[in-house]
Amino acid sequence: MDKQPLIDFIESSIPDFKVSRENLQTIAGYFEEVEFAKHDYLLKEGKVSGYFYLVEGFMRAFTFDADGNEITTYFHTKGRVIFEPSSFFLRTPSLENIQAVTPCRGYLTNFCQLNDLFHSVPEFREFGRAMLVREYVAYKQHTLAMINKTAEERYASLIANGKEIFQHAQLKHIASFLGMTDTSLSRIRREFMAR
């Protein structure tokens, strides 16, 4: 697999910084190519998140509530970095699973290599900062929406901002991500289609 898509992704993620061709090649050298079949796991609950991924495809993070019900915590779409931050940075067992919903391909690097890049390539530090901020904001917005938005508002926001999710995810996974039952999601979908 060609690493040019990786280089393009890094450049587009930090448009205010001009990264030299030499540094882009250095960064790309720290990443390995990877492929996942549909249903493959990137991470299983109880394991330490050891890799930082940049993947083309569609993935889902999920955990289980106190009653053993599967709850989708996040959807990873094209142009997102994929890892479980608390497990990755604190080196603790993950409370989440991350699984491929579609066949995926892309790049990975491990914890030590990522830290080496942060310390040796200033532009990569900026890329890492941009990715962490983007993912933190997305998690925070979702958390707040679960508190201060109605189920209908959360559904409308997902339609507006996450069309790819509806193309790939099962409705029960979308429902749990939005904090509602399958029945509620079906009712809201019918109401939206009737408008």
Q: φ, ψ for residue 31 (rounded to 5)?
A: -105, 145
**Tell me, what's the pLDDT at 187?**
93
What element of type H or E holds 54?
Answer: strand 51-56
Q: Residue 127 is which amino acid?
A: F
Mean pLDDT over 107-112 rounds to 94
Cα(30)–Cα(89) distance, integer angstroms: 18
Q: What is the mean pLDDT of the chain?
A: 91
85, 138 contact by CB (below 8 A): no
Longest dimension (CA), the chain: 56
CA distance 45 to 61: 10
HSE of 59 in the Cβ direction (CA atoms, 13 Å)? 29
Prediction pTM value = 0.89
Residue 88, in any domain of the structure: yes
Quick check: is 33 in a domain? yes
Distance between CA atoms of residues 155 and 188, nearest Å = 8
Distance CA 39, CA 59 (A): 9
What is the domain count for the chain?
1
* Residue 190 placed within a domain: no
Judge whether 179 lies within some domain: no
- What is the per-residue pLDDT across 24-48, written as a single tens digit (0 to 9) for each? 899 999 999 999 999 999 999 999 9
> What is the extent of the structural domain holding 46?
4-148
- Over residues 136-171, the pLDDT tens digits come to 898 899 999 999 999 999 999 999 988 889 999 999
Partner residues linked to 59 by β-bridges: 76, 100
Closest CA to 150 of 118, 106, 187: 187
- In this prediction, residues 113-138 reach a mean pLDDT of 89
Residue 163 falls within a domain, yes or no?
Answer: no
Q: Indicate whether 69 pLDDT > 90.
A: yes
| pLDDT the model gives residue 1 | 59
Q: What is the pLDDT of residue 2?
A: 79
* Residue where the block lists tokens 């933190």: 136
CA distance 25 to 58: 26
Q: What is the CATH number of the domain that holds 132?
A: 2.60.120.10
Give a yes or no: residue 171 inside a domain.
no
The answer to the question of residue 167 being in a domain is no
Name the band, by pLDDT with cuts 50, 70 and 90, for residue 127: confident
Query: Residue 134 corresponds to which tokens in the numbers above?
Result: 């983007």
| Per-position DSSP letters for 4-24, written without gaps between them | HHHHHHHHHH-TTSPPPHHHH
Under the phi-then-psi rule, with left for phi > 0, alpha for psi from -120 to 50, and beta for the rest, what region is 156? alpha
- Does residue 67 lie in a domain region? yes
Share of the chain above pLDDT 70, in %: 99
